[in-house]
Structure 1
Amino acid sequence: MNSPADTPAQHRIQARHRWRHSQRREGIEALAETLLSEALGDVFGRWCLQIGACQRNLGERAGTLRRVACAPWSRSDGDLVADECMLPFASDSCDAVILAFALEFSTRPHRLVREAERVLNDRGVLVVLGQSPLSVAAWPRLLGLSGRALPRGAGLVRPGRLQDWLDLLDFEVENRLGFATGWPWRGQARWAPMVPLADCYALVARKRVAPITPQRVPQKRLRPAAAPGGVVAGNFRKRWERETS
């Protein structure tokens, strides 16, 4: 029987703790903040919601009235504590949602993406930041070695798999980017076709809403009802009006 420390949720919590105290985190978050300042430049409205293991408020450049960070673990990581798969926001209420390294530490990553789709309004922007399991930093992990670049216990999601989820939820991916720090990248980050071996990736997607074109329903011409005895009610009324005039 597994102990409570062996559950997937505990593995994710421990992986998040390692990520929070890693040396790579600060550099990667600084790069992500620079990149998102461009991606969120045309976002306006009421709410910009950030979810995940990120100590920076990446939505500062969004032109929304309110910017809030949600942390499912502790209040010290965000403005509010809530279940990431049951967000305290109404449907279609947010103009932008940022999943900042949230899928790696979630036990239900697909449901988290669905919840982000629920709270986004029409044409809302979804930004997903993640660590790639195919990156150079993940090679020791693929070989069964204890690498320090990626937090042990994190559930990494491939960019291609994530894009399949977004396609099923009617998102249109507008931009893909690979970025990383350290050898051999030296902090190279720019909006460009995604580098497959980069440590981290960013996907910018927009919620698609099918336009509804109103169609006129053809109206049936009503035929005059027949009166008792086979006389048409309309003709009988005209005849009665002539005789009584």
Structure 2
Amino acid sequence: MTAKIIGLTEWFATAPGQYLLAWEREQFDLAVADLFGFNALQLGLPELDALQANRMPHRWLALPEVPVFANDASTQQPTPRVALVTNAAALPFPEGSLDLVVLPHTLEFSADPHHVLREVERVLVPEGRVVISGFNPASLWGFRQARGRLVGASQLYLPEAGDFIGPWRLRDWLRLLSFELESDRFGCYRPAMHSEKWLNRYAWLDRAGARWWPIFGAVYFVVAVKRVRGMRLLGPAWKPQRAATAAPVSVANRH
């Protein structure tokens, strides 16, 4: 396959795209299943329902444009979500109103990813969580993509657009915005191949890579918590204060 890959949607229809989507779907399900609250938001990537395992009553899917879904069952959304068209850098939510925000490949395909992350920090409640996935430049897929940019667009393996953000760079951004890293992991260790047949032949590398070279997975997955400095939870004053006892007064001798 040497055809020029135009965008993220077209790439996720390929064999490596489906392989990556399956891994990310499992990670999102594990990460959001036990997160409680009222409001959750997914920014971008309608091909993946990252909130399907979450039980919050209000879940939104924010898109830069109105999505168009195919008729086959593989692209239908299994969980109903409220879709809204908005700019990821200017979310229509009040400050401190969301309990969970998921960003599946959102930052690396944004014009100003750092501004998007600041906007996420604004709308999250204290102790709210952000879940992020992205392509890892320090991987076999990342190396092939870098070589393709030097040779020509027809040799690209990953989507043509996008500035892939390394996990180390993302950690620095999160730290600057007072996020605390809760967990991170890597996945998809198979070589950069287009054929589903050859990808399946190297399935054993997923187990070997996770054990021997974990940081070189093609995709990373990060969960971070918004910390508010100086905020402290106060408990009820259950212990009544004792009244101060009067100091003893000496009695003069009558005699």
User: Same fold per TM (> 0.5)?
Assistant: yes
Cα displacement (A) at 1:19:
2.8
Paired amino acid for 2:87: D
Cα displacement (A) at 1:179:
0.7
| Number of corresponding residues | 202
1:72 aligned residue: 64
Cα displacement (A) at 1:200:
0.4
Report if aligned partners of 1:24, 1:181 keep a CA contact under 8 Å in 2. Answer: no
Structure 2 residue ranges without an equivalent (≥5)? 70-81, 192-201, 234-255
Paired amino acid for 1:197: F
Query: CA 1:42 to 1:209, structure 2 compared with 1: closer, same or farther past 3 Å?
Result: farther
Q: Return the match for 2:220 from 201, 220, 225.
A: 201
Cα displacement (A) at 1:138:
1.7
Rounded to whole Å, the distance in 2 between the matches of 1:105 and 1:134 is 18
- CA offset digits 1:184-240 (Å, max 9, x no partner): 5658389999822211000100001224469xxxxxxxxxxxxxxxxxxxxxxxxxx
- CA offset digits 1:150-207 (Å, max 9, x no partner): 1122210111111100000000001111011643565838999982221100010000
Are positions 1:102 and 2:106 aligned together? Answer: yes
- CA offset digits 1:87-140 (Å, max 9, x no partner): 111111111100011122111111111111111111001000000111101212
Quote the sequence identity (%).
29
SS of 1:75's partner is: coil
Q: Return the match for 1:27 from 9, 15, 19.
A: 19
Query: CA 1:213 to 1:103, structure 2 compared with 1: closer, same or farther past 3 Å?
Result: closer
Rounded to whole Å, the distance in 1 between the matches of 2:62 and 2:135 is 20
SS of 2:214's partner is: coil
Are positions 1:141 and 2:128 aligned together? Answer: no
Query: CA 1:55 to 1:192, structure 2 compared with 1: closer, same or farther past 3 Å?
Result: farther
Paired amino acid for 1:120: L
Q: TM-score, normalised by structure 2?
A: 0.70
SS of 1:44's partner is: coil
Are positions 1:52 and 2:44 aligned together? Answer: yes
1:171 aligned residue: 179
Cα displacement (A) at 1:54:
4.1
SS of 1:209's partner is: coil
Rounded to whole Å, the distance in 2 between the matches of 1:192 and 1:113 is 31
- CA offset digits 1:11-31 (Å, max 9, x no partner): xx9433443443322221221
1:226-237 superposed matches below 5 A: none
Cα displacement (A) at 1:141:
2.6
Report if aligned partners of 2:187, 2:217 keep a CA contact under 8 Å in 1. Answer: yes
Are positions 1:126 and 2:130 aligned together? Answer: yes
Query: CA 1:212 to 1:84, structure 2 compared with 1: closer, same or farther past 3 Å?
Result: closer
Please tell me whether Structure 1 or Structure 2 has the larger radius of gyration of its CA atoms.
Answer: 1
Query: CA 1:137 to 1:168, structure 2 compared with 1: closer, same or farther past 3 Å?
Result: same
Aligned Cα root-mean-square deviation (Å): 2.8
Q: TM-score, normalised by structure 1?
A: 0.73
Paired amino acid for 2:206: Q
SS of 2:68's partner is: helix
Query: CA 1:194 to 1:203, structure 2 compared with 1: closer, same or farther past 3 Å?
Result: farther
Greater displacement, 15-24 / 113-122: 15-24
Paired amino acid for 2:178: D
